[in-house]
Chain A
Amino acid sequence: DTEVTQTPKHLVMGMTNKKSLKCEQHMGHRAMYWYKQKAKKPPELMFVYSYEKLSINESVPSRFSPECPNSSLLNLHLHALQPEDSALYLCASSQDHPGQGAYNEQFFGPGTRLTVL
């Protein structure tokens, strides 16, 4: 299984809602990532988990809260979002933790298209 899955595919939420995005991989990868991608722009890194511990938080607002319950799962909890948070949210995983070069090939999921009203 060389796939990263993400649910839901699409999500529409109001600014007062609480929702969660889910990501799963069964490749035995030890690093998992959340990216945010706005239209016609490259992905922007939000968080990195390495061995189930948060290793990078790219100054993301606290209305985004990541969680890594186990080595296969990564969640992104959303609360009190703003319309400008509307974007494609991509999850990725890699065999080893970042910085290992040859082991840093990342496998991306299909993304969740989030719209905040």
Chain B
Amino acid sequence: KNEVEQSPQNLTAQEGEFITINCSYSVGISALHWLQQHPGGGIVSLFMLSSGKKKHGRLIATINIQEKHSSLHITASHPRDSAVYICAVSPNYGQNFVFGPGTRLSVLP
């Protein structure tokens, strides 16, 4: 079993829809990161969370430390949101990110 899991693997939405991507992890962590990667491109850090909730524009990220679960929400989705969204954790035991497998999002106009 992977230490970081994401669901769904693939997601297709219509423009304007509310989107949720989930991440669950099995290790103790000091922080959780949501990353965005457009096709063929580099990675952009969207959020770093250790508790609670953060909001940036149409993006909202939440984390429940007790349940080892985080969600990324996109409100009023737009085709430019089409990308792979990666959940990564900074584990307590180790020195570097553990990446989830990614969620491939396509937002259709």
**Residue positions of A touching B, CB distance < 8 A:** 6, 33, 40-43, 45, 48, 55-56, 88, 90, 92, 97-99, 101-102, 104-111, 113
- Taking a contact as CB atoms under 8 Å apart, the answer to whether A90 and B43 are in contact is yes
Q: Total contacts A to B, CB within 8 angstroms?
A: 62
Residue on A with the closest CB to B86? A42
Query: Taking A42-B86, A102-B50, A108-B45 as contacts, is the C-beta distance between A56 and B30 under 8 angstroms?
Result: no
Give bound CA distance, A87 to B99, whole Å: 17
- Taking a contact as CB atoms under 8 Å apart, the answer to whether B97 and A45 are in contact is yes
- Taking a contact as CB atoms under 8 Å apart, the answer to whether B45 and A56 are in contact is no
- Taking a contact as CB atoms under 8 Å apart, the answer to whether A105 and B48 are in contact is yes
Q: Contact partner of A108 among B30, B43, B90, CB < 8 A?
A: B43
- Taking a contact as CB atoms under 8 Å apart, the answer to whether A102 and B30 are in contact is yes
Give bound CA distance, A61 to B62, whole Å: 39
Give bound CA distance, A39 to B79, whole Å: 21
- Taking a contact as CB atoms under 8 Å apart, the answer to whether A105 and B33 are in contact is yes
Give bound CA distance, A92 to B99, whole Å: 14
